[in-house]
């Protein structure tokens, strides 16, 4: 089923606050097998000028994936989720996410296209601190593969 | 102090050290837990083949994360990676067993931009096939 182009520009209320913990960053770095001490050791992070441990660049997905769930829960967004794959991902970092951040994510629908029988939905999630400092913008393109 | 790549060190064609990462089913389970993406196509053979995949596949975000590792390990401070874009071209099938799948990451500086920025284009393959049809990272260097 083709997605309604009128969905483009729709935005959703901001998420609840996500508080970034050192242990969660370390867990994510371990899942990537990344031994970099800047993800674990506050002293190593400070040596690079960061106030606390920072998160790997793709850690933002932990925050944005949950936030983008509001789109999938929107009854107007008719996607066959059993056929959805991740098509593209982009992160624009205004500064690294770091331990202690209290983040709020605001999701909107950036683009809707139908190509070759596949529905393409691009969401945009703007991540900022509770105080309004911009941290990261994530664009995710989901592809719902057309049925045979 | 650790080595860090500076803007003066890079020019178009500068190559990153090639890196190869091994991904096993256990790594997929670990990544599912860490990321919160519990889609069963990343751990359940029955579900994966039921939706037409050749088998359990790695999270695209895990592949993106590993390719990012090759960049951040080279550049020194991961905070230098200010923009990172990938297009998922082909799934990384992770067979059951101890050997798993290999993901190889190569990269080269494709453009030197204004303000000390450089764009690195990555070539990410598994089993000799490109798995990311596009992968580029913009670095803010000092």
Whether the pTM exceeds 0.90: the reply is: yes
Q: How far is the C-alpha of A49 from the C-alpha of A98, rounded, in Å?
A: 12
- Quote the pLDDT of residue A16: 95
**Which secondary structure element, helix H or strand E, spans residue A137, and what is its range?**
strand A134-144
How many distinct structural domains can be found in chain A? 1
- Quote the pLDDT of residue A83: 79
Q: What's the whole-number average pLDDT of chain B? A: 95
* Tokens read off for A95: 């500064």
* Tokens read off for B139: 């670095």
Any B CB within 8 A of A54 CB: yes
The residue ranking higher by pLDDT, A84 or A132, is A132
Spatial contact of B136 and B71, defined as CB atoms under 8 Å apart: no
pLDDT above 60 (res B1):
no
Any B CB within 8 A of A88 CB: yes
Q: Residue A102, Cα to own-chain centre: how many angstroms?
A: 15
Q: How far is the C-alpha of B128 from the C-alpha of B141, rounded, in Å?
A: 32
State which residue of chain B sits closest to A141, comparing Cα positions.
B87
Look at residue A1 and tell me if it is in a domain.
no
- Quote the pLDDT of residue A66: 81
Q: What percent of chain B has pLDDT over 70?
A: 98
Look at residue A45 and tell me if it is in a domain.
yes
Look at residue A98 and tell me if it is in a domain.
yes
Look at residue A46 and tell me if it is in a domain.
yes
CB contact under 8 A, A31 and B51: no
**Which secondary structure element, helix H or strand E, spans residue A42, and what is its range?**
helix A42-47
Q: What percent of chain B has pLDDT over 90?
A: 92
Look at residue A2 and tell me if it is in a domain.
no
Three-class SS state of A73: coil
> Could you read off the pLDDT of A34-57 as tens digits, one per residue?
999 999 999 999 999 999 999 999
Look at residue A55 and tell me if it is in a domain.
yes
Spatial contact of A91 and A137, defined as CB atoms under 8 Å apart: yes
> Could you read off the pLDDT of B53-92 as tens digits, one per residue?
999 999 999 999 999 999 999 999 999 999 999 999 999 9
The residue ranking higher by pLDDT, A131 or A147, is A131
- Quote the pLDDT of residue A148: 44
Look at residue A59 and tell me if it is in a domain.
yes
* Tokens read off for A9: 């520009």
Residues in chain B: 142
Domain extent for A67: 7-144
ipTM of model: 0.96
Q: What percent of chain A has pLDDT over 90?
A: 79
Any A CB within 8 A of B68 CB: yes
Q: What is the set of domains in chain B, with CATH numbers?
A: 7-24+57-140 (3.10.129.10)
Going by pLDDT thresholds of 50, 70 and 90, the confidence category of residue B51 is confident
Any A CB within 8 A of B64 CB: yes
Residue A126 belongs to domain with CATH number: 3.10.129.10
pLDDT above 60 (res B3):
no
């Amino acid at each position: 089923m083709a997605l309604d182009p009128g969905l483009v520009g729709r935005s959703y209320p901001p998420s609840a606050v996500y508080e970034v913990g050192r242990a969660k960053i370390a867990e994510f770095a371990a899942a990537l097998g990344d031994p970099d001490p800047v993800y674990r050791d506050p002293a190593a992070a400070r040596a690079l000028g960061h106030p606390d441990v920072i998160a790997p660049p793709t850690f933002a997905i932990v925050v944005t994936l949950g936030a983008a769930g509001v789109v999938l829960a929107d009854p107007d967004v008719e996607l066959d989720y059993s056929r959805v794959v991740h098509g593209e991902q982009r992160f624009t970092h205004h500064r690294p996410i770091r331990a202690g951040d209290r983040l709020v994510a605001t999701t909107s629908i950036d683009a809707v296209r139908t190509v070759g029988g596949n529905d393409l939905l691009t969401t945009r999630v703007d991540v900022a601190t509770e105080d309004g400092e911009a941290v990261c913008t994530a664009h995710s393109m989901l592809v719902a593969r057309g049925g045979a | 102090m650790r080595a860090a790549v500076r803007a003066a060190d890079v020019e178009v064609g500068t190559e990153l050290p090639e890196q190869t990462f091994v991904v096993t089913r256990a790594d997929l389970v670990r990544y599912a837990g860490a990321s919160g993406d519990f889609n069963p196509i990343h751990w359940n053979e029955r579900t994966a083949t039921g939706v037409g995949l050749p088998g359990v596949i790695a999270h695209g975000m895990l592949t993106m994360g590993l390719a990012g590792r090759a960049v951040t390990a080279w550049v020194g401070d991961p905070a230098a990676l200010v923009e990172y874009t990938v297009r998922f071209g082909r799934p990384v099938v992770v067979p059951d067993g101890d050997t798993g799948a290999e993901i190889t990451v190569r990269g080269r500086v494709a453009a030197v931009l204004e303000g000390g920025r450089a764009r690195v284009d990555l070539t990410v393959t598994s089993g000799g096939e490109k798995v990311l049809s596009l992968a580029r990272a913009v670095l803010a260097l000092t």
